[in-house]
Amino acid sequence: MKNKNKIKISIAITSLLALTLVFNQCVIDQKVNPSRRGETSSDSQGQAHHHDHYDTYDEYDDYSWDDPYEDEMMAAPMVPPVNVEEVREVTPDYGIKNFEQIYYTMSVLTGVSPNNSRVKAVFDDVSSALPSNNDIKTFSTGNQVSILKLATEFCHQMIDDSDLRRDVYPDVNFRRTPNEELNREKRAYLIERTIDHFLGQGVLGAGERNFIYAELNTLVSNLLDGSNLDSRNTTQMVGKGLCVTALGSIHNSIF
């Protein structure tokens, strides 16, 4: 049953991975890329579209030429939005945590010991694919996938430990079934608590928080769909899914 729940968590989170990566990349782009240059002034050379060959004929003197492609032909040439060398030389005000910093951040947030044999085994397996330095410009999709793998094991260990999960979700009884425990009010609390604990209180703007809340709510619906709502294992599965998504987000990897 545990393996089945792990598979379902992985499938549900993977379904949101593409959206998460796009959202994370937008966050990184906002931190890294310098301001775009001002719009390029139009160059008069090569822009005018003449019809001098008609000027030699009197019958066309009063003719109004209407070229359907004229606007397109007169458009200013496209230029790159930023200078490549400037991007290479700029020093970002923000950085990405390296493999060791990510590992200990997850340990602190979940309460799982960094010496836990299971999380250490996953860390050893993915460490080479985690960020090797703090240069945010080197962050890649492969880094994010490895971060999610590591977050998954930390969250499994946290939710499986009654004391650790109580520290994060004090008002949720994971020994009760979803039909008993996850009513509308408690479900909202579970999501809100996930955001506050893993992403921080007062850190997110209203729009960003609403976006994240909606995505986590969708995740809960996906995890509950087709699951046994009379099993406490399903309640724990929901907790793990929320934990993995928040713990593995860019908010815990950036500084």
Residue 44 is which amino acid? S
More confidently predicted of 77 and 171: 171
Query: Whole-model pTM?
Result: 0.71
Lowest-confidence pick of 18-27, 121-130, 161-170, 199-208: 18-27
- Cα separations (Å) of 30 from 36, 121, 148? 11, 34, 22
Q: What is the pLDDT of residue 221?
A: 96
Q: How does residue 126 score in pLDDT terms, banded at 50, 70 and 90?
A: very high
pLDDT in tens, 25-52: 445 555 455 444 344 334 434 444 444 4
- The full set of domain ranges for the chain reads 2-34+89-252
Whether residue 254 contacts residue 136, with contact meaning beta carbons closer than 8 Å, is answered with yes
Lowest-confidence pick of 35-49, 165-179, 209-223: 35-49
Does 185 have pLDDT greater than 90?
yes
Share of the chain above pLDDT 70, in %: 64
How far apart are the C-alpha atoms of 206 and 204, rounded to whole Å? 6
More confidently predicted of 25 and 100: 100
How far apart are the C-alpha atoms of 122 and 224, rounded to whole Å? 27
Q: What is the pLDDT of residue 2?
A: 58
Whether residue 126 contacts residue 149, with contact meaning beta carbons closer than 8 Å, is answered with yes
Q: Which residues contact 206 (CB under 8 A, 6 or more apart)?
A: none
Q: How does residue 3 score in pLDDT terms, banded at 50, 70 and 90?
A: low
Does 83 have pLDDT greater than 70?
no
Q: What is the pLDDT of residue 35?
A: 45
How far apart are the C-alpha atoms of 120 and 102, rounded to whole Å? 13
Sign of the torsion formed by the C-alpha atoms of 161, 218, 99 and 252: negative
Does 217 have pLDDT greater than 60?
yes
**Average confidence score pLDDT of the chain:** 79
